[in-house]
Structure 1
């Protein structure tokens, strides 16, 4: 088991040490957003024959098995250090297990298009959380991006909430709780400097998410009979190895290398992709409010990447 030297007690200045983000990393971010956007229609399809807890359990348990095998094969399998375990548990419980269980449950009540926006609206919680716990002040660029994101979310979500019945409201509340769970983990990661979120920790994060979900699924939903349906294996192959083992590694790197506000704004690209694909797959109408909201969200996504501002200036200052 490898060890890490204890970090200095002096509060580091990440902005001073941060390297410019490479073109390859930015491409990976776009790929991750597209994969997670596509995951929403896939989860909606899978929810027709896989129960919520088993859906979440199969996603992370399959990702755990794959990541453990890969880590062993490339010589990166190790136990997390004492300092790393809280982050491993936080990612596994808050961002992976709880978030996914709530989302897959909510998809039994609502359509994936608008639902994806509510689940990924972490900026609702992250912006005040970053100001309160991290003492972060928004730059003009971040402020404008955040305003566009909030406006886009309001345009898309409020009409749905105003016309929601009790059945739909349950789904929306579950999605709001999922969003809060992820936001808490984003802030936890930023409050834990010195822990590097590389592939070494991914097997344990997915295991922390997968094992409790498997136990809960056995207790509340019985045996995994869905495995007898060959269609479930296609869904699990997408949501597990692709949308978890690969994509979470990219997103966790984003969480560590960018400011919490920037991460939460970038993640709104996922529902933009999800809404578009949902309209194609399920015929979810792209009404004028959805188009306006998506336009505002896209503005919020583009602003941090404008060349005149540069990505380096979105780094969290210590």
Structure 2
């Protein structure tokens, strides 16, 4: 896939090729959103028989093994450079390991639909962070999308916090911390534009996430006895190779090619899918606040992608 548009002096032939590639990229983004949205009900199901730390560890260990094997076969296996290692560690620790461990643990306290909405509310942190750290200025449509996202998140989160018991509050705090962790990594990636987040780095990113999680899981939960349960293998197959090895590569490309605000708004599509599936699978009630919040999030999600603006313009780095 092509890199983000860097200057207004791109050749006419490159501009002519961009729309088709942008449509393909948009399809990949939608695919990633749907896979990650479906991952929330899968994680809720798996949390019934897989301990949280082992759940996160097995997800990234399976993704690491697969991505190392594929990289070796296609001749892409290499060590990261000195410039790349900070980003590899940032992605592995903040966006993969810490985020996943926190949300998996939170699913023991809250339902997956509302939980996914809180965890993916990275715009709460990214918008002010981009303004302060990156000096990023929003255009009109991004501003409107951000306002819709903020209001939608408030409509969903505030009623839950007002009626939360101690266990639920612990879960919501873990989800807020997970959201902050991912937002920090988005800003880190935007601050290191010289590093290209291609498949070459994915094996090392997943390994950085897997190793400390495996150590912690062994110390806290003991041996991975859950592997004796045949249901665990199906859950790991979805959350590891599909929802990690494939989807993280798409999302990391989004983080590098699009503005940080656009990325955080697009990611709100994940909890919309997750909440819809949660209501169908687990009977999570779609209350008025959830429906209203989902509507606002969907509006905020669609605004940046309207044809009048053009997806290509969103590819300009923030």
**Superposition TM-score, scaled by structure 1 size:** 0.94
Give the superposition deviation at 1:24: 1.1
Match of 2:126 in 1: 126
Aligned residue number for residue 73 of structure 2? 73
1:114 aligns with: 114
Is the deviation greater in 245-254 or in 15-24? Answer: 15-24
Does the 8 Å contact 1:102/1:174 carry over to 2? yes
Instruction: State the alpha-carbon separation in 1 of the partners of residues 7 and 93 from structure 2.
Output: 29
Cα deviations by residue, 1:107-133 (Å, 9 ceiling, x for unpaired): 001000100011000000000000000
Question: Contact 2:5–2:315 (CA<8 Å) still a contact in 1?
Answer: no
- Alignment of structure 1 residues 253-268 onto 2, 5 Å: 253-268=253-268
Q: Given that residues 22 and 311 in structure 2 are in contact (C-alpha distance below 8 angstroms), is that contact kept between their aligned partners in structure 1? A: no
Q: Distance in 1 between matches of 2:118 and 2:81?
A: 35
Alpha-carbon displacement from aligned partner over 1:253-278 (angstroms, at most 9, x marks no partner): 00000000000000000000000000
Query: 1:159-218: CA deviations, max 9, x gaps?
Result: 111100011000000000000000000000000011100000000000000011000000
Picking from 6, 11, 20, the partner of 1:14 is 6
Structure 1 stretches (4+) deviating beyond 6 angstroms? none
CA distance in 2 between counterparts of 1:244 and 1:14 reads: 29
Alpha-carbon distance between aligned partners in 2 of 1:24 and 1:313, rounded to the nearest angstrom: 15
Instruction: Provide the secondary structure at the position in 1 that maps to 2:83.
Output: coil
Q: CA 1:158–1:215 in 2, change beyond 3 Å: closer, same or farther?
A: same
Q: Which stretches in structure 2 are left out of the alignment for 5+ residues?
A: none
Give runs of aligned pairs for residues 166-181 of structure 1, distance below 5 A. Answer: 166-181=166-181
The alignment's C-alpha RMSD in Å is 1.4
TM-score (structure 2 length as normaliser) = 0.94
Structure 1 gaps, min length 5:
1-11
Per-residue deviation, 1:313 = 2.7
Deviation at 1:36, TM superposition (A): 0.2
Are 1:95 and 1:185, in contact at CA under 8 Å, matched by a contact in 2? yes
